[in-house]
Structure 1
Amino acid sequence: MVQSMTRPFLSDYLKRLTDDTGIFQHTKFGIPDRNKGYTSDDNARALIAAVMLYKSRKDAESLNLIRTYLAFIHHAQNEEGSFRNFMDYNRMFIEKTGSEDCLGRCLWALGFTLAESAVPDNLRNTCRYMINQALPRLRSLGSPRAMAYALIGLTSMLETPDALSYSFPYPGKESDDPSFLPRAEIELLVKELAMRLHTQYESNKGNGWHWFENSITYGNAMLPWALLKASNFSHTEQYRQTAKESLDFLASITFSKEGYFKPVGSHGWLERGGEAALYDEQPIEASEMLLACFAAYKILGNHTYLVHASTCYEWFHGRNSLNESLIDAQSGACYDGIHAVGLNLNQGSENIVSYCMAHMVMHHE
């Protein structure tokens, strides 16, 4: 049976990677690599993890992390709603606009935070403001993963009764302005983005290939997960079928015959008709597959998906192709992944955040 760390130990490493600006992107082994600075991507993921911790603990420490990560994302947002991604150690963004995926990840984090009633209202109001600013950018998304991240954030909001309710004025607007977070517009966006994902799947599947593209690369589980949430919200059976079929296909590729999770490697990925790259195995893939499978268990009621989620969690603790734990028992950090020659001993933010999400879902949902 997996021996999990205590909850205080779980957040210790998160704090060590976080200064008053945000969470650092990379490390040199266990020390933040200031030369690599920060990203909105990592601060968005860290915000989700911090909200999960706060929901469980209601402690000042987790709340302070939420404030830090939320402030970073607010600083990253451009006036027209997009987000910058890469910031150097001097607190200067080194680009004018980040990727579509960055926009989607920020929407996921903001929607998730807004949907959590335990988060103080003043912070949820900040989320409402930023989401409202970003809404006009969503219809032009072309990246399927960006659409998936955004869908997960938007449906989280719509599933929460008071998420779109607000009682505050903001610059140039009144508190009862119907154009602020318009529910009908958000519902329409969910339908449009879900239909586009479903249509892309229909255009690419065939001959034993049940996927949205001609390759399986990164952030794979987000695609079926997003359609699952969209199907649950809109009661659209075709989205549910596409989500299940694609998630089952991904599972057939990533769960080994020996019974452990083995994500598609980042050095080569998997091209249609080819073989999956064996390495590098990355923690974020185990975490996102866990989240998708756990959601499938709750929505579809099939116990197999809960077993899959547990198997993804056990990947972190040694039930993997290397038979070694990715969790550093001394620091509580998570290693960067599994290489052909063994563990990558760096312990960057993406990995501890991925493990934190996985741990909190499996132990505190």
Structure 2
Amino acid sequence: MTAATPAPIFDHLLRMTDHRGTFEHACFADPRPEHGYCADDMSRVLVVAARQPKTEGDVRRLASVAVRFLNEAQALTGACRNRMDVAGRWADEPAFEDCWGRCVWGLGTAAARSEVGWVRQSAIVQFDRAAQGRSIWPRAMAFAALGAAELLTVDPDHRAARALITDYAATVTEPSSNPAWPWPEARLTYANAVLAEAMIAAGVVLDSPPLWQRGLDLLEWLVDYETADGHLSPTPVAGRGPDDRRPGFDQQPIEVSTLADACARAAAVDAGAIWTAGVRAAAAWFQGANDASQPMWDPETGGGFDGLQANGVNRNQGAESTLAVLSTLQHAQNFSTVPQ
């Protein structure tokens, strides 16, 4: 048996959150209100808060703040704004880009998992609005498919969710014909594992073993490719191609948490030990099992550090990085007592 992993600690996230939302950026541990909020982060807040078991008080409040924020972010067409300033003014126009996909993901997760009744009901209403739209961007559609899959676990007959995930499945790109580089893109870029995870989720919902197997195969390749010297070595901000030198920096915590999300989903479909190992490796990355042997979070407050660089750690503790830690530790706790 393995030792229990650290529990998610919400102190820093709560400090970063006011009545409107969670501030996007921090200077070290201090929130930077002047940079405002974004729907990308509030969708992640909703996911993490909704799936945290036995929540009370302040953590429950996070889900309420997030679902209200996303409601305001949505247009009647279902499109989503992303950026709000500290005074509550939107800085962009509604669109069907990544923030829309993450919004659908958050809403579907809350509809399926939140312990707060009004949050679940509000999330369903907002999901139906958002699910009117479709995106031309693969990652946006992949995130939206994850939200649809979550909602369908509790309401298999939900028409809008089933239509969305069916449309997503029709857009899935075939793997490359190059066995050394099966990834469907010329380079790894960002949130790579979500492409494989969405295939797995859609394949399960649509009872399509070839689709979920395609996702499992791509994810297995990705986990292997993103591992070096016994630890995760994720794709850096600049991306990664087959001829790039390793390791690459600046590494972002969100890449690690996306991989943990995908491995956790894969473990529910396939008994391969690689998935449990993948989740554990993601948690270990934050605890210092990485290319710089540096911890990537503050275990006292739960704050996540913003980037792993060749010359050290970016110790600013923004919302995205903190949510990446929380999300990864949620999964790791579920696997902490599973025999290796």
Does the TM-score normalized on the shorter chain lie above 0.5?
yes
Residue 174 of structure 2 aligns to a residue in which SS?
Answer: helix
**TM-score relative to the length of structure 2:** 0.92
Select 1:135's aligned residue among 128, 131, 134.
131
Change (3 A) 1:93 1:276: farther
Give the SS at the match of 2:131.
helix
Contact 1:270 1:277 (C-alpha < 8 Å) held by counterparts = no
CA distance in 2, matches of 1:6, 1:241: 32
Q: For the residues of structure 1 that align with 2:294 and 2:189, how far apart are their CA atoms?
A: 24
> Which has the larger Rg?
1
Q: Which residue of 2 aligns with 1:34?
A: 33
2:258 and 2:42 map into 1 onto residues whose CA distance is: 16
Residue 338 of structure 2 corresponds to none
CA distance in 2, matches of 1:312, 1:2: 15
Pair 1:280-2:250 in alignment: yes
Structure 1's 192 and 273: CA in aligned 2 closer, same or farther, altered over 3 A?
farther
The one-letter amino acid of 2:32's match is D
Gaps of 5+ in 1: 165-182
Shift of residue 238, structure 1, vs aligned partner: 1.9
Aligned partner of 1:157 in structure 2 is 151
Query: Does 1:312 pair with 2:287?
Result: no
Provide the rounded CA distance (Å) in 2 between the counterparts of 1:12 and 1:192.
Answer: 39
2:188 matched to 1:189? no
Q: Give the structure 2 partner of residue 243 of structure 1.
A: 215
Distance 1:344 1:318, change over 3 A: same
Is residue 54 of structure 2 the alignment partner of residue 57 of structure 1? Answer: yes
**1:260-296: CA deviation from partner (whole Å, max 9, x where unpaired):** 0010111x21135544660011111111101111211
> Unpaired segments of 5 or more residues in structure 2?
336-340
Matched, 1:261 2:255: no
Structure 1: distance between partners of 2:154 and 2:96: 28
Shift of 1:117: 5.6
Counterparts of 1:324 and 1:363 in 2: how far apart (Å)? 21
RMSD (Å) for aligned C-alpha atoms: 1.9
Q: Secondary structure of 1:300's match? A: coil
Aligned AA for 1:188? A
Is residue 2:69 matched to residue 1:72? yes
How far apart, in 2, do the equivalents of 1:314 and 1:2 lie?
A: 12
- TM-aligned CA deviation for residue 208 of structure 1: 2.1
> 1:175 — aligned with what?
none
Out of 143, 146, 150, the residue aligned to residue 140 of structure 2 is 146
Deviation at 1:3, TM superposition (A): 7.3
Higher RCO (CA 8 Å, separation ≥ 6 residues)? 2
Match of 2:97 in 1: 100
AA in 1 matched with 2:55: K
